[in-house]
Amino acid sequence: MSIPVSKNEIVTAEIVGLTHEGEGVGRVNGFTLFVRGALPGERVQAKVLKVKKQYGYAKMLEILEASPDRVSPPCEIFNQCGGCQLQHMSYEAQLRWKRQHVVDNLQRIGKLQIAGGEEQSGVIVHDTLGMHDPWRYRNKAQVPVGMSGSSWGQTHPKGARKEERGTADVGELIAGFYAQGSHRIIDMESCLIQDERNDEVVRLVKQIGRRLGITAYDEQSGRGLLRHVVARTGYISGEMMIVLVTNGQRIPQVEQWIESIRAELPAVTSIVQNVNKKNTNVIFGDETRVLWGNEVIYDELDGIRFAISARSFYQVNPQQTVALYRKAVEYAGLTGNENVIDAYCGIGTISLFLARQAGHVYGVEIVPEAIEDAKQNAELNQIDNTTFEAGPAEVVIPRWKQEGNKPDVIVVDPPRKGCDSELLETILAMQPERVVYVSCNPSTLARDLRVLEDGGYRTVEVQPVDMFPWTVHVESVALLVRKFVGGTV
């Protein structure tokens, strides 16, 4: 069978769907072309960029028939920046697409039957929980820093000491998000999904760095000082933390940094340095030290107070986090007597929500610092019916089982890769009445639900939650119940 398109050809494509990355799925004589910026229901003119056996990529040139869901992106750099993927799509359409994205994965990967229409049985997938105001929701900015003008190698001779040489002769600091599919930084002054106070931090750090002649880290040469600026803002408390991630121990004129930040941003209560000398795209290094102020900032979720350090994992959308965790607690069906295990518990956020209605909650997390945070957060809220332990969930939970810990409910909130297979086997062996699965990746959610279904559980319902408006990401929380003998619930 011959491929009906060729590279550089101008074609007309009918857009029939969106990929999980937000690209339009186009059809040209039965052949699939992925077209960035195109929406389902549209007819577009596009230039073919790359052709493979089963599919190709094309650049949209003109919209011949626009979707009724198309809107004008309010962000000036939307077409350059890779931070958002769906600003050209109405918010209502995004919520519908995210639900369908979850449904498609549950059917295709999980082989699950979805209730709806004439089909009465099957998994209930609710409408996506959206936001009343889906802008300015992020409480944390992690912004890479670069240099304008000359490259680092031209600015500094090879003999310069990369840790100690922290000032530049030409060029100036820029900071923003990476262009889609690259490590090219798009300089920005404002991000419409960031808390405005985080924008102020990034602008201020750039200004101070430029004034002091500070260099930015260069990935290719390994030279330069400032790698990332991280800003965290307490949604309820208003407290702010600034983290300067550097490629060395010494920050030139550090007292002027601190003095300028404090003068411009009185809400800042913590200024921290993180040292990362490794040639890696991981943001944080192992060494963190306080330059001024407190080691943590405080914030609240649904009346529970949390201490947040520079490297703590803390959900970036506090309003939707409360909606997500309330749904997880509802699905847990707690009466005040249950033993609950919270796998991948982090700093104890879900654990403490659960503990208000459970008999006892056991949390496990592989990061020791997070477990220390979880213990402190329980103490901070005078919640004493929790036990936290550091280690891999697939190791710690089987040991708890051997020690006689029989949970009524197990809650999992794994990373994007989903649950470890050994943990799933342990859940099946422990046979809790309910499993509540909080997921940030519909494909691994569907895969793991299939394993649990085959092991004797039934997926009752799934609630998608829009944690990251204007992006392709969708969180979900699923309720599974154990089948009784005979296969009925």
Q: Which residues contact 1 (CB under 8 A, 6 or more apart)?
A: none
Quote the tokens at residue 260: 């300028």
Q: Which residue has the tokens 């985080």?
A: 198
Residue type, 94: Q
Q: What is the SS3 assignment for 42? A: coil
Q: Which helix (H) or strand (E) holds 386?
A: strand 386-390
The continuous run of DSSP H or E covering 13 comes out as strand 10-18
- CA 85 to CA 76: how far, in whole Å? 13
Closest CA to 370 of 340, 348, 393: 348
How many whole angstroms from its chain centre is CA 243?
19
Q: How far apart are CA 289 and CA 275, in angstroms?
A: 9
Query: Which residues, other chains included, contact 486 with Cβ-Cβ below 8 Å and sequence gap of 6+?
Result: none
Token code pair at residue 105: 């994965």
Q: Is 440 a catalytic residue?
A: yes
Could you tell me where the beta strands, DSSP code E, fall in 311-376? 339-343, 360-365
Closest CA to 325 of 296, 297, 357, 371: 357
Which residue among the candidates 75, 84, 419, 440 is catalytic per the annotation?
440
* Alpha-carbon span 294 to 420, nearest angstrom: 36
Closest by CA position to 456, among listed 423, 478, 489: 489
The rounded distance, in Å, linking the Cα atoms of 362 and 238 is 31
Closest by CA to 362, choosing from 412, 429, 416, is 412
What is the 8-class DSSP label of residue 215?
Answer: P
Say if residues 31 and 55 touch (Cβ distance below 8 Å).
Answer: yes
Amino acid, res. 136? R
- Annotated catalytic sites, by residue? 440
